[in-house]
Amino acid sequence: MVPPKPGSADTPIPDESAVDGAQRTGGGPPIDWDALPGPLRLRLAELAACALDEVRPSDVPAQLRPVVRFAPAKRAKLGQPALIAALRDSGVFRTAVVDWCRNHRAAALALDDADPVAVAAAAVLLGSPVAPHYVELISFRAEQVQLRTERDSATARADRLTADVERLRGELAEAKQIADRIGGENSAEADRLRKRLREQGVRLKQAKDGAEHALSELERMRSEHKAAFEEIVAERDRERARAQEERRRADRASAEVEVARQSAREARQGDEVRLALLLETLEGAVGGLRRELGASGSGPRPADVVQRVRAHSGATGEVPDVVTLDRLLALPAVHLIVDGYNVTKTGYPELPLSDQRDRLAHQLAALSARTGAEVTVVFDGADVLAVPTAGPRGVRVLFSEPGVQADDVIRDLVSAEPKGRQVVVATSDRAVATSVRRRGAYAVSSAMLLARLNRV
């Protein structure tokens, strides 16, 4: 039976009750969710993980609420059991996933795809009558892969046993020669050699028995799986015959062209910003007059094009003391990046988080006004319900997106800077400090920055 094409008049548009009915009572035998093969479980988990961000909070089952806080790239791997259980038990959540696929990834619901795993996932989500058959096919294929692996292992074991047999035969021949040469001279030595010869004979027999058993097991496995393998090959040929290769190739090429254009635009924007900042830094280093004349420069900075933050939001090493920090902040066009909560929880952890942010931002504004340095402070945005619309003058305040750590945003800020520009990162996190030094930035501890801020 050929599944209906997506978008045709025969394509079913299931609602929640229809999907539950097809998977439990109608449309064929029920699906055993606990026995789904690994590739199909991964495919369903990936679709459900992608749809989580757009599912209404009221439609998210209770067991998935911890999974929502995971990074999108890690949800399918770390939360796979919870995602599969939610698809199995919650018709509302399963319908929400189907709606998301229909709006954002219509190809995921196609029942005429050449990939049986993709078709099986679509059939399971849509409650198609062919879903149990595709699940059985994928399980059968996974079993065949395992059996082929076991067959190869048995073959290798047989080869090793054959090599042992040959080695033991050589040792046996050598022992016989030694026994023949000294048999008439020393009867005690001859008895010892005869004993060894008997032991070698026992080992040889054991090796032969093991090799014969392995060979017989291999032949049995070959005879059992030959017919199954031929059926898999025939099924694969039929699937290839049904595939519409030209349409998929055109869609894939169009998507790749669009991605390439977007990547080119982003790369060009980043290069233009880096080039503009490099020219500005060179002008400051040569003339030394930009700060005195009040010419702060215009246009975007590399930190303004770093992704994964919400809207509005040289030589390297560790700075040893405040004097060295002052010398760095006096350099032309230096960029100070601050790990916000790492500094505030070191200096004044007793304050509420909002007060911590305000106090640090105003202290950094005073430091920026005195030194002329570009200052960016990054906070984790997971617990921030409303991002402030403005910050103190001279300080760029960024909040990471939900699911993204401020540490990763800091690394992106350092990587966005052009080579040759001096960048100072204030944090006591060893992992962050090590990573930014590798990217060409200086690392200063939170306590040292607080000491410098208290002097302003």
Residues 439/415, Cβ–Cβ less than 8 Å: yes
Give phi and psi for 423, each to the nearest 5.
Answer: -125, 130
Give the tokens for residue 363: 């202290």
Domain boundaries, the chain: 16-129, 137-242, 308-455
Q: With beta carbons less than 8 A apart as the criterion, state whether 151 and 218 touch.
A: yes
Q: Write the CB contacts of 359 (distance below 8 Å, at least 6 apart in sequence).
A: 344, 348, 351
pLDDT score for 452: 92
Hey, what are 229's tokens?
């393998």
Nearest to 18 by CA among 94, 85, 107, 121: 94
Average pLDDT rounded to a whole number, residues 170-195: 77
- The tens digit of pLDDT for each residue in 34-45 reads 778 888 788 888
Looking at the predicted structure, is the pLDDT value of residue 293 above 80? no
Average pLDDT over residues 163-182: 82
Sheet holding 395-399, edge to edge: 317-318, 442-444, 423-426, 335-339, 374-379, 395-399
Using DSSP's 3-state secondary structure scheme, residue 233 falls into helix
Taking the C-alpha atoms of residue 7 and residue 21, their distance in angstroms, rounded to an integer, is: 22
User: Mean pLDDT over all residues of the chain?
Assistant: 79
Given a cut of 90, whether residue 444 has pLDDT beyond it is yes
Lowest mean pLDDT among 257-261, 297-301, 430-434: 297-301
Instruction: Specify the pLDDT at position 81.
Output: 87
Neighbours of 258 (CB within 10 A): 10
Q: Hey, what are 193's tokens?
A: 């050699």
Say yes or no to pLDDT of 1 above 50. Answer: no
Planar angle of CA 175, 178, 183, nearest 5 degrees: 120
- Tell me how far apart the alpha carbons of residues 25 and 315 are, in angstroms, rounded to a whole number: 69
pLDDT at 378 over 90: yes
CB-CB contact of 278 with 420 (8 Å): yes
Contact 382, 310 (CB under 8 A): no
Q: Scanning the structure block, which residue is given the tokens 């496995």? A: 221
Q: Which residues contact 63 (CB under 8 A, 6 or more apart)?
A: 82, 85, 86
Q: Which CATH class is domain 308-455?
A: alpha beta
Q: How many residues does the chain have?
A: 456
Which among 443, 405, 453 has a CA at the least distance from the CA of 423? Answer: 443
pLDDT score of 332: 85
What percentage of the chain's residues is helix, strand, coil (to nearest 5)? 70, 5, 25
Residue 10 has pLDDT above 60, yes or no: no
Mean pLDDT computed over 274-293: 64
Residues 425 and 303: beta-carbon distance below 8 Å: no
User: What string of DSSP letters covers 67-105?
Assistant: HHTS-HHHHHHHSHHHHHHHHHH-HHHHHHHHHHHHHH-
What local confidence, expressed as pLDDT, does residue 288 receive? Answer: 57
Highest mean predicted confidence (pLDDT) among 97-106, 239-248, 291-300, 350-359: 350-359
Does residue 295 register a pLDDT over 60?
no
Lowest-pLDDT range of 15-29, 144-158, 287-301, 374-388:
15-29
Mean pLDDT for the stretch of residues 285-303: 56
Q: Provide DSSP, 385-428.
A: SS--S---TTEEEEEBPTT--HHHHHHHHHHHSPTT--EEEE--
Task: Please name the residues in contact with 106: beta carbons below 8 A apart, sequence gap of 6 or more.
Answer: 6
Q: What is the pLDDT of residue 413?
A: 93
Tell me the C-alpha distance between 446 and 443, whole Å. 10
End-to-end CA distance of the chain: 78
pLDDT above 80 for 292: no
Per-residue pLDDT, 18: 37
pLDDT in the model for residue 103 = 86
What is residue 185's predicted lDDT score, i.e. its pLDDT?
Answer: 66
Does the pLDDT value for residue 179 go beyond 60? Answer: yes
Mean pLDDT on 332-346: 93
Task: Tell me the average pLDDT across 326-340.
Answer: 91
Strand partners, 335: 374, 423
Give 48-101 pLDDT, tens digit per residue.
Answer: 888 887 888 887 888 888 887 888 778 878 888 888 888 888 888 888 888 888
Which range among 35-49, 147-161, 162-176, 296-310 shows the weakest confidence by mean pLDDT? 296-310
Return the pLDDT at 16. 37
